[in-house]
Amino acid sequence: MYGSISAVLAGSWLLVIAADLVLAELAPARLVAAGAAGAAVGVTLSLAVPEQHKLEAFLLAVPAACGAIIAFGVVAYLLDDGDLRAVLAWVQRVTRLRS
């Protein structure tokens, strides 16, 4: 029973890796650079604090994920060719109209 569960888990991660390879080719290069920065920050934060229990791992995962998201956003914004700035301007206009 455990062998089939392990095979399914391994297979699902192989599908994720294959999807990542395809999607990285479709994404603009600036977003791939931003994704790499986010991954680097997330891994660095995860490795900086050794955890021994599942609860500690969960509590570390939250700031690591937040750090990765922030790093992705900053790099994507800095490398943006105008799309993200246009979306942010639209969000600012909409929030001003509602308040």
pLDDT digits (tens, 9 = 90+) for 59-89: 899 999 999 999 999 998 888 878 777 888 8
Please name the amino acid found at residue 4.
Answer: S
Quick one: which H or E segment has residue 51?
none
**66 assigned to some structural domain:** yes
In a domain, 8, yes or no: no
Closest CA to 71 of 30, 95, 43, 35: 35
pLDDT digits (tens, 9 = 90+) for 17-47: 999 888 888 888 888 889 999 999 999 998 8
Give a yes or no: residue 16 inside a domain. no
Taking the C-alpha atoms of residue 66 and residue 54, their distance in angstroms, rounded to an integer, is: 19
Domain annotation covers residue 17 = no
Q: Is residue 57 part of a domain?
A: yes
Number of domains in the chain: 1
The CA-to-CA distance between both ends of the chain, in Å, stands at 57
Domain annotation covers residue 9: no
Q: Which range marks the domain in which residue 74 is found?
A: 28-98
Q: Is 38 domain-assigned?
A: yes
93 domain-assigned: yes
Three-class DSSP category at 27: coil
HSE-CB at 3 with a 13 A cutoff on CA atoms is 0
pLDDT at 1: 62
